[in-house]
Chains A and B, each alone.
Chain A
Amino acid sequence: MHPFTYAPVADAAGAAARALAGAQFIAGGTDMLQLLQENLVQPQELADLNGLGLAGITEEQDGALRLGALTRLQKAADDPLLRERCAVAAEALAASASPMVRHMATLGGNLLQRTRCLYFRDVSTPCNKRQPGSGCSALEGENRHNAILGGSEHCIAVQPSDLPVALVALDAEVLIQGAGGAERWVPVEGFHRLPGDTPEIETVMQPGDIILAIRIPAHATRWRSHYVKARDRASFAWALCSAAVALRLDEEGRVAELRVAAGGVATKPWRLMRVEQELLGHRLDRDRVRLAAVWASEGAVTRPGNAYKAPLLQHTVERAILELGGLA
């Protein structure tokens, strides 16, 4: 680990000033310590955000849920409001990492978690995300865990977090405070960027920006929702594929509102609008759900190592909708 200086910051303005002077932020530290240990980042200074008082989950006047950026994953997974009204988020959090990591990691940090692509995490290999212009080792290499959706000729790394996939299904937004103090809301769906020819730029965050909170709108808290995660072992593993579904049926049992998102298969949390469209206005039955879920892998670009993800994605989406609809 290269030497760095450390200091806590007292407020968001102070944090922004440190960041503009070259500091990187640390909060839960669970990804930052790994990045430091493997020399993937070499900050001159770490600015500790834990004193900013941004933890906790509260209900807003209109019924929206506000999740403070420094809330620990386990705290959020156990939160009665979140479990009751936004099951998909609580389930995604409970399926994240290990109990120890969940006690440390923060919601804001989880949105910013760096990819687990083997080549990004190995400084001895070329990686366009880590070292722009050096090439992508995953395209022709070991790409079993890499993306089949949203990739480019420069990068097929997966955004690995479970929570943002659930948040896309819940139509959630991220509250960001800019370096000048102005606050802005960004839909989670638009928070991560496609790699394109700049895979080193992963989100819409600008220098000095701080995530203050996540907001799940009131209408989404009235939906039923569910998360299904497929992985190599039953617990403590990255998603090979995951599906987040949020649903509202009308009085006749027809699909009135539906949002479906996938994780583990794409370079960012991936909204499956075609699957949604196939089911809107219809009653859920097994055949219709199965045929709709086939559209989940529309546009997929597969490679020898990750071709299995296309059918896995279809079946994971099918299973999530069937389980949510009581048809499993």
Chain B
Amino acid sequence: MPEPSQNFSLTLHVNGTEHRVAVDARTTLLDALRDRLHLTGTKKGCALGQCGACTVLLDGRRVVSCLMLAVMAEGRQVTTIEGLAQGDDLHPVQAAFVEHDAFQCGYCTPGQIMSAVGAIREGRAGSDDEIREQMSGNLCRCGAYTNIVAAVRDAASREG
């Protein structure tokens, strides 16, 4: 086992690409994504796991990247909002958010979309009630919830 260290040179697997990145032990996955890899689609809201703006997929499961040390993400597959679209073709959940006007200011939107992608993939978007429950970790200060539920329902029915 390695000796405890304060500085690390990591390999992070993000959106199918390997990145070498030097971080302090304190660096969260969120800060590594934004400040080192310049993938600023993932947003920093509360930094305490309470708002969901920083939601990414880790090995296909939704996590809040603010509550994870970057050093603990080594060897895992990270998917961010930048990894969803295929070129100019939006991911179905992204397209549904546009179609249903499921945002206002847009700050929470990447987290909402990543959480919705995870929920649909987990098979937990079967009804409006289930969508509300499953999206409860993603806050929207603009209050776009009604359209968010509609977008997730629409995307889930198309994918399911």
**Residues in A lying within 8 Å of B, measured CB to CB:** 1, 3-10, 14, 18, 23, 26, 29-30, 33-34, 36-38, 45-48, 50, 74, 97-101, 103-104, 234-236
Chain A, Cβ-Cβ closest to B48: A34
Docked-complex contact B137 and A236, CB < 8 angstroms: yes
A231 to chain B, nearest CB (A): 11
**Are A4 and B25 in touch, CB under 8 angstroms?**
yes
Q: Is the CB of B137 within 8 A of A1?
A: no
B21 CB to nearest chain A CB (Å):
15
Residues in A with CB closer than 8 Å to B132 are 234-235
Let me know if B22 is at the binding interface, CB within 8 A: no
Contact B47 A37 (CB under 8 A): yes
A26 touches B69 (CB 8 A): yes
Does the CB pair A6–B5 fall under 8 Å? yes
Q: Is the CB of B119 within 8 A of A50?
A: no
Q: Does B28 contact A (CB under 8 A)?
A: yes
> Dominant SS at the A interface?
mixed
Chain A residue with minimal CB distance to B62?
Answer: A100
- Interchain CB contact under 8 A, B119 and A99: yes
Q: With contacts A100-B55, A101-B67, A103-B58 known, what are 20 further pairs, Cβ within 8 A?
A: A4-B25, A5-B5, A7-B1, A26-B69, A30-B49, A34-B48, A34-B67, A46-B25, A48-B72, A98-B136, A99-B115, A99-B137, A100-B49, A100-B137, A103-B62, A103-B63, A104-B68, A234-B132, A234-B133, A236-B136
Whether B136 lies near A36 (C-beta < 8 A) is no
B160–chain A nearest beta-carbon distance, Å: 18
Given the complex of chains A and B, what is the CA–CA distance between A4 and B4 in angstroms? 9
The 7 tightest CB contacts between A and B, nearest first, are A98-B137, A235-B136, A5-B4, A6-B25, A7-B4, A236-B136, A33-B67
CA–CA, A257 and B51, complex, Å = 42
Q: How far is the CA of A8 from the CA of B52 in the complex (A)?
A: 27
Residues of B within 8 A of A36 (CB): 26
